[in-house]
């Protein structure tokens, strides 16, 4: 009798231990997060209202996806840092929802920031550079502050082309000393473009709802092109640059990147506002909106006059074919196409290059000085010396751009002032404004770029062509939308126009997107050969 009882007791314990082991194994098993794929902000908000999931559920699921897809599996390597406070923030936002408080359409929406945007938390802001690996800003950037006020969850920081791809010649987009190499989610040996590489990849692979990128020339629209998403580069000044590691005071801007025009428009409205610490932002007074969703019109192209830059797709015959179809789609949606001659690039390209060199030196030195006593280097000159002794930084490409910038004088230099005036006149008064006024245009369209090239750490990027420069150098807005695929690789179309014309561009882009529906989720192919 005693033996039987002991035997039963041992068996009971064994079953209990087995059950506990199964629970542990179940916890270790990656959760099914497929329900997040291609979900929109509106659908997420509806789920919160209906109680189908909580903010914590969503944040947990996105973190699981980052662990499963970004850090293992395909190993996209798009996220440098996951916010250690993300779940705590999610719980706080859930408590607000339970109490009937909803801050707005971004409440509980997970957002990833490019790792050149300051956050005052447990995440460093590195620009992907080893010298800033442990640089913790003392204040939020204006953009981070606005996202927190809107109830967004800053989920983490994304990898980027180091120093926003303004360091050396023959560089490879998507590589940084801190983050390593980011991969294209459609075909893993292809390049994600940059410099907002991780932002584009994270959105495309459904690792977040929205990402914030930055652009000086192409750094939002090109990753949007290569990763099959929507990217909006606003008018310079619509969104504050305070707390963003700079390249150019004249051309820099942050901007939202998402899977749909609707999501991008919703996010944009939460980021606007006058920031007196950024004089470009002060110019947005009376021009910015806090809600762009009313411009999401399916008939957005009807009656619009769209200029097409002649020869803008000539860098690749298959892009030319896709673009020709896009032009026909615009016509079917009630748009009128007017072919126009592009401005002479020689009138502004070298001038812009000189402006970038001068403004980078000035802006970076000021940013490093603001870091205070904790700054590992105090200026560009010290940074150049640091890189010479670092075992990682100069492994794949040089710092020639740093060296050229260091040779420049201050912003009172005649060369700088003349170059600035020349480039703005050529791209504004004699550029976009002239083209649009003479042809009574609502917007201009052109292919965003080529299909993604194979990543090459030896020879650098094999960039074939694109349309970012005119809008970027003028400081005017542009939005890239998926235009189709060449084999397994996405290609985008860009609509751009006058300063402060974001409402009109959103209307046009939404109309095109809704009529064509070219966005497809990536499949993480090893190679397209």
Residues assigned a catalytic role:
114, 195, 219
Q: Is 12 helix (H, G, I), strand (E, B) or coil?
A: helix
Distance CA 172, CA 126 (A): 18
DSSP 280-298: HHHTTTTT--S--GGG--T
The answer to whether 176 and 131 have CB atoms below 8 angstroms apart is no
Distance CA 323, CA 179 (A): 35
DSSP 334-399: T-EEEEEPPP-GGGTHHHHHHHHHHHHHHHHHHHHHHTGGG-S-SSHHHHHHHHHH-TTTTSSS--
Containing 35, the helix (H) or strand (E) segment is none
Q: Across-strand partners of 424?
A: none
Q: Which residues contact 158 (CB under 8 A, 6 or more apart)?
A: 78, 79, 80, 112, 113, 114, 115, 196, 197, 198, 199, 201, 202, 211
The answer to whether 82 and 63 have CB atoms below 8 angstroms apart is yes
C-alpha dist (Å) from residue 105 to 35, 397, 505: 20, 43, 21
Q: Across-strand partners of 262?
A: none
Distance CA 40, CA 266 (A): 11
CA 62 to chain centre: 18
């Amino acid at each position: 009798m005693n033996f039987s009882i002991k035997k039963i007791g041992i068996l009971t314990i064994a079953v209990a231990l087995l059950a506990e082991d199964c629970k542990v194994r179940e916890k270790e098993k990656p959760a099914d997060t497929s329900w997040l794929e291609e979900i929109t902000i509106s659908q997420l908000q509806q789920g919160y209202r209906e109680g189908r999931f909580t903010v914590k559920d969503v944040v947990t699921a996105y973190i699981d996806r980052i662990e499963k897809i970004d850090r293992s599996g395909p190993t996209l390597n798009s996220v440098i840092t996951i916010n250690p406070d993300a779940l705590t923030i999610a719980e706080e936002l859930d408590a607000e929802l339970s109490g009937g408080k909803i801050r707005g359409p971004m409440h509980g929406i997970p957002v990833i920031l490019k790792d050149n945007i300051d956050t005052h938390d447990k995440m460093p802001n590195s620009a992907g550079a080893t010298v800033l690996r442990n640089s913790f800003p003392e204040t939020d950037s204006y953009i981070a502050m606005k996202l927190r006020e809107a109830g967004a969850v800053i989920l983490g920081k994304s990898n980027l082309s180091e120093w926003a791809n303004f360091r050396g010649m023959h560089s490879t987009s998507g590589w940084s000393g801190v983050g390593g190499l980011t991969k294209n989610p459609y075909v893993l040996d292809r390049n994600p473009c940059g410099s907002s590489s991780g932002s584009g990849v994270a959105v495309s692979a459904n690792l977040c709802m929205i990402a914030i990128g930055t652009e000086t020339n192409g750094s939002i629209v090109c990753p949007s092109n290569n990763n099959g998403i929507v990217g909006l580069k606003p008018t310079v000044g619509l969104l504050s640059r305070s707390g963003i590691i700079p390249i150019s005071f004249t051309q820099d801007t942050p901007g939202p990147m998402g899977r749909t025009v609707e999501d991008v428009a919703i996010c944009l409205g939460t980021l606007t506002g006058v920031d007196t610490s950024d004089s470009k932002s002060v110019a947005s007074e009376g021009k910015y909106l806090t809600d762009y969703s009313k411009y999401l019109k399916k008939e957005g192209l009807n009656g619009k006059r769209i200029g097409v830059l002649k020869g803008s797709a000539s860098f690749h015959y298959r892009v030319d074919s896709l673009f020709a179809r896009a032009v026909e789609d615009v016509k079917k949606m009630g748009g009128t196409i007017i072919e126009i001659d592009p401005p002479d690039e020689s009138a502004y390209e070298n001038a812009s290059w000189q402006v970038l060199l001068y403004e980078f030196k000035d802006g970076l030195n000021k940013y490093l000085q603001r870091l205070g006593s904790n700054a590992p280097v105090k200026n560009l000159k010290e940074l150049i010396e640091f890189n010479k002794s670092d075992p990682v930084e100069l492994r794949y490409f040089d710092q020639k751009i740093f060296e050229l910038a260091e040779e420049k004088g201050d912003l009172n230099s005649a060369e700088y002032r003349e170059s600035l005036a020349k480039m703005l006149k050529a791209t504004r008064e004699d550029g976009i404004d002239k083209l649009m006024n003479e042809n009574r245009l609502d917007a201009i369209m052109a292919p965003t770029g080529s299909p993604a090239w194979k990543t090459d750490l030896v020879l650098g990027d094999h960039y074939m062509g694109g349309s970012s420069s005119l809008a970027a150098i003028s400081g005017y807005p542009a939005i890239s939308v998926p235009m189709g695929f060449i084999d397994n690789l996405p290609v985008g179309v860009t609509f751009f126009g006058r300063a402060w014309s974001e409402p009109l561009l959103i209307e046009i882009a939404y109309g095109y997107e809704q009529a064509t529906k070219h966005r497809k989720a990536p499949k993480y192919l090893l190679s397209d050969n």
